[in-house]
Amino acid sequence: MAGLKVLGNTIAGISPSNLRLLYKTVVIPAITYGSQLWFVPEKPNKKLIHKLEQVQHKALIQIAGAFWDSPEEALQLLTYVPPITTTLHKLYRSAALHIPRLPLTSEITRRLPTDYLPSNTPLEKRVIPPKHIPFPCPRGKEILSPLTRMVATYDSHTERADPFHTQNAPHHQRLSSKPFAGRLTIKPEACNKKERKSLVTKQRIWMGTRQGRKTLVVVTDRSKTNKAVGWAVTGIHAGRTMFKHKIPLAKRASNHDTEMMALAHASKLVRETMLGEPDIREFRIFSDSTASLTSIFDPGPHAAQQASLTFRKNMLQLFTEQLDVEGTLLWTPGHGGLNQMKITDKNAKAAANMKC
Instruction: Give per-residue pLDDT as tens, 250-296.
Output: 777 888 999 999 999 999 999 999 998 888 999 999 999 999 999 99
pLDDT for the residue numbered 204? 86
Q: Is the pLDDT of residue 133 over 70?
A: no
210/263: higher pLDDT = 263
pLDDT tens-digit readout, 39-56: 988 888 899 999 999 999
Cα–Cα–Cα angle for 340, 345, 348, nearest 5°?
A: 130
Q: How confident is the model at residue 143 (pLDDT cuts 50, 70, 90)?
A: low
**123: pLDDT strictly greater than 90:** no
Low-confidence winner among 136-145, 184-193, 225-234 (lowest mean pLDDT): 136-145
Share of the chain above pLDDT 90, in %: 35
* pLDDT-based confidence at residue 336 (cuts at 50, 70, 90): low
pLDDT of residue 286: 93
Directed axis angle between helix 84-98 and helix 46-64, to 10°? 120
Residue 193: what pLDDT? 83
Q: CB 85: neighbour CB atoms within 10 A?
A: 14
Cβ neighbors of 109 (< 8 A, separation 6 or more) are 99, 102, 103, 117
Q: What is the mean pLDDT of residues 109-116?
A: 78
Residue-level pLDDT at 134: 47
Residue 125 has pLDDT above 80, yes or no: no
Let me know: does 219 contact 341? Beta carbons within 8 Å.
yes
Q: Are 298 and 306 in contact (CB under 8 A)?
A: no
Is the pLDDT at 320 greater than 50? The verdict is yes
- Residue in 302, 327, 303 with CA at minimum distance from that of residue 315: 327
Alpha helices in 132-192 (DSSP H): 146-151
Calculate the CA 235 to chain-centre distance.
28
Least confident of 80-94, 142-156, 294-308: 142-156
Q: Where are the domains of the chain?
A: 2-96, 102-151, 168-352
Instruction: Compute CA 34 distance to the chain's CA centroid, rounded to the nearest angstrom.
Output: 26
Share of the chain above pLDDT 70, in %: 89
Q: What are phi and psi of 230, to 5 degrees?
A: -140, 160
pLDDT band, very low/low/confident/very high, at 231 (cuts 50, 70, 90): very high
Q: At what angle do helices 255-276 and 305-321 cross, to 10 degrees?
A: 20
Work out the mean pLDDT of the chain and round it to a whole number. Answer: 84
Average pLDDT over residues 318-326: 92
Fold of 168-352: Nucleotidyltransferase; domain 5 (3.30.420)
User: Which of residues 216 and 153 earns the better pLDDT score?
Assistant: 216
Stronger pLDDT, 15 or 270, i.e. the higher one: 270
In the predicted structure, residue 224 carries a pLDDT above the cut 60: yes
Whole-angstrom distance, CA of residue 324 vs CA of residue 282: 9
- pLDDT score for 135: 45
Mean pLDDT of 148-169: 81
Q: How far is CA 124 from CA 105, 162, 206, 222, 234, in A?
A: 11, 20, 56, 40, 43
Strand partners, 234: 219, 244
Q: Please determine, for residue 142, whether its predicted confidence score (pLDDT) is greater than 70.
A: no
Q: What is the pTM of this model?
A: 0.72
Contact 44, 85 (CB under 8 A): yes
What pLDDT does 51 receive? 93
Pairwise CA distance, residues 65 & 52, whole Å: 20
For residue 168, the 8-state DSSP code is G
pLDDT at 88: 94
